[in-house]
A and B are shown apart, each in its own frame.
Chain A
């Protein structure tokens, strides 16, 4: 029950005139009160009811949850986080849309239209009050923005929040509410509101390419989280704010057009509607403009030639190269690497480079967002692709490196611990001379070699465990990832592999890890550290040889070689095909 639909009379609202018009003098005086006062009073009550609506509160909770799920596993970058806060506002907007439609359509839904027609407040006045009452959703939206901003900032966000993007989220909520009112005035059935909410939700994933910015809010087709710095016009936030404002006005006009009577009012509404449509079209055209070539050239240069813009720091024979603004990650990156180096009997001759890379792939539009290159000529795109391919060859020919995708390094918590382990394992693989994976960052062919039955693999895992001390349960869980056992084909046999924690935070840091290697390393952690270190130090060169087997290492340590659990045996229902793939799809053995 809402104030305009039969709820308690709001303070200041005009009471009904009795039938026949024989009202007392005082009552008749009050009934001539300005219409604006009635609208204000009703709007105040509507705003209050909307603010405490269960649907709006549910949307607020869902929005907060969604924002947290989106921002907590990744590095907080403001040019990405601001848009993800808008994703949360989309959940709130859905709740507001349904609540507004239910409130507006209740009079007709309950067949009380005649009763409300007898009230002094006309249908148009009530609709205007409903529209003004949307201000009741503003506190929830602002609360969501404020809470998310505090959380993102507390997690050490890089960059600065975009005011236009944050304001766009607020306008999205208001526009959705206005759309709900427009739907409710024409279609009182609750299903209409639900369908409107579903349309709003489903539209967010409907299109690809430059057109995505025309949608009220797209939630998964962008590459914002992978950019090393904000890119002007990506997203076109200012134009999008104007578009959302235009949609809100247009929805309000439609709602009033259904309920307002009178030629003069219709003229005003038609003018406002035409203006709103014009604004939406202009804003849409502005959003469809391609990103300036100079800005994209700069981005391609940052991607293809990171050394030209990155700042490098060398410590303990390891070179850390990070994009400007990411320097605060340096201590977090150094910590696991330094721990591994501290446990090494001898350091390799070749230096190690840890470098940030941009994983946006401009060359495969089906896989990534073509919005970046939208509107540019094929020739221009071909030039950019050629530039990227040139630099990819350079990267492959370079010294051993661990590639760290921009935006992937977590801020804190269990994700950071996993990323530390992955980084330590990458450094340990470099230390025991395990070769890096072959293939390029943008290559579809990715054939890493497998260190099958090689002692150096178990040593690398042991070093990483020693450096970061991950939970044993998490390590054990890598043997059967999400119920599937995983494996790689080497020659004509399936080799069960181990999915180590944090693998998703790095790009091609090294070869896949075998389950046998992990089990031996796990057994090594049960031995005194000094004993293992002495065995390794005594024959370090021998252990680095790819021909030295796990069994030899176990014998040297005086422990039995752990056997593979039964569930790791290849079986079609466990996700590993028992039919060998073609020879060119099998992984080679690491022999260097």
Chain B
């Protein structure tokens, strides 16, 4: 399904550009007959061929792509993860209601982990060798998927915070604990997960990118939570709510930059001996 739709994306982008003068339909980035997409260095010994169309011409097919990006979005995976965590929290809320012990923010953090695991499967560039050869940058698809996932995650977070608040008695003395550090923390978790998934997607282990990214993200979350060095800055009460928020948004920003860099990376990272292969190609047979 994903592969068929990805191929459709590629076909759409190509057909939308057929009205304009286009040198050739691109098939593989390693062929010397094919002009490279932006940012990719030329193969050794090959002359640099500049593209004919304006730099932002790829923005035009975006409205057409939106439908296909929406269809290739792994909705089932994402929503399953979000619902699994919310269902867990609902059970916890029921148990808390019967035992008269309100849920804490820790329960919300735990309940958000399935959503984080599902998010790891979202930024996947299906059929990248084809999509990379089209005039539209290959990162448009994964970036669109991430943008589509953001509101789903926001709604999940909101629902889980509501579930938690529902278990707190109204006559509880004192103000409730601030939730903005929790939101910052969950945002940071998501950003780290997306960055890990984007990086693994550019590796030779792309087939298991989501599973690896989820495991890496869980390890990072556990490290941030339990390691004394990091917990001093990233968890309450060791750090103030304001400090926790700033630290997690800083991490999210750094992870976002890493995600952008990984998505824009156009080189195949599937083989170990890339240098040797390119040397062989440059030699006349």
Binding site for B on A (CB under 8 A): 55, 58, 98, 102, 110, 189-191, 193-195, 198-199, 202, 206-208, 366, 482-484, 573, 575
| A259–B92 alpha-carbon span in the complex (Å) | 34
Q: Does A202 lie within 8 Å of B88, measured CB to CB?
A: yes
Contact check, A206 vs B211: say whether CB atoms are below 8 A apart: no
Residues of A close to B88: CB separation below 8 A = 199, 202
Q: Which residues of B are found within 8 Å of A191, using beta-carbon distances?
A: 77, 80-81, 117-118, 121, 210-211, 214
Question: Is the Cβ of A206 less than 8 Å from the Cβ of B95?
Answer: yes
A102 near B101 with CB under 8 A, answer: no
Interface pairs (23), CB distance under 8 Å = A58-B215, A98-B211, A98-B215, A102-B211, A189-B121, A190-B214, A191-B77, A191-B81, A191-B117, A191-B214, A193-B211, A194-B117, A194-B214, A195-B81, A195-B114, A199-B84, A202-B88, A208-B95, A208-B99, A366-B100, A482-B232, A483-B232, A483-B238
- A207 and B95 CA atoms in complex are apart in Å by 7
Main SS of the interface on chain A? helix
Is A483 in contact with B239, judged by CB distance below 8 angstroms?
Answer: yes
Chain A to chain B: the 6 pairs with minimum beta-carbon distance, closest first = A190-B211, A194-B117, A191-B77, A194-B214, A195-B84, A482-B238
List residues 221-270 of chain B with CB under 8 A from any CB of chain A.
Answer: 232, 237-240
Cross-chain contact A366 with B211 (CB below 8 angstroms): no
Chain B interface residue count, Cβ-Cβ cutoff 8 angstroms:
28
| Contact between A189 and B214, CB atoms less than 8 A apart | no
Main SS class of interface, B: helix
- Whether the pair B211, A194 counts as a contact (CB closer than 8 A) is yes
Minimum Cβ distance to chain B for residue A180 (Å): 13
Q: Which residues of the partner chain A approach B239 to less than 8 Å between Cβ atoms?
A: 483
With a CB–CB cut-off of 8 A, which chain A residues contact B210? Answer: 190-191
Contacts of B99 in A (CB 8 A): 208, 366
Residues of B contacting A195 in the complex (Cβ-Cβ under 8 angstroms)? 80-81, 84, 114, 117
- The 0/1 profile, CB within 8 Å of A marked 1, for residues 172-197 of chain B is 00000000000000000000000000
Given contacts A195-B117, A573-B240, A102 and B208 within 8 Å (CB-CB): yes
Taking CB atoms, residues of chain A closer than 8 Å to B121 are 189-191
B199, CB-defined interface residue at 8 Å:
no
- Minimum CB–CB distance for B83 against chain A, Å: 10
Nearest chain A CB to B184's CB is how many angstroms away? Answer: 19
Distance in angstroms from B149 CB to nearest chain A CB is 13
Chain B min CB distance to A173 (Å): 18
Q: For the complex formed, measure the closest distance between the CB of A372 and the CB atoms of chain B, giving whole angstroms.
A: 16
Q: Which of B45-99 contact A (CB under 8 A)?
A: 77, 80-81, 84, 88, 91-92, 95, 99
Contacts of A193 in B (CB 8 A): 211
Q: A58-B215, A191-B77, A194-B214 are in contact. List 8 more A-B contacts (CB 8 A).
A: A102-B208, A110-B207, A190-B121, A193-B211, A198-B117, A206-B92, A208-B99, A482-B237
| Chain B hits for A189, CB < 8 A | 77, 121
Cα distance, A207 to B96, chains bound together (Å):
9
Complex: how many Å from CA A484 to CA B99? 32
Question: With a CB–CB cut-off of 8 A, which chain B residues contact A575?
Answer: 237
- Residue in chain B with minimal CB distance to A208: B99
CB of B110 closer than 8 Å to a CB of A: yes
**B113 an interface residue at 8 Å Cβ cutoff?**
yes
Closest to B113 in A: A198
A55 contacts which chain B residues (CB < 8 A)? 215
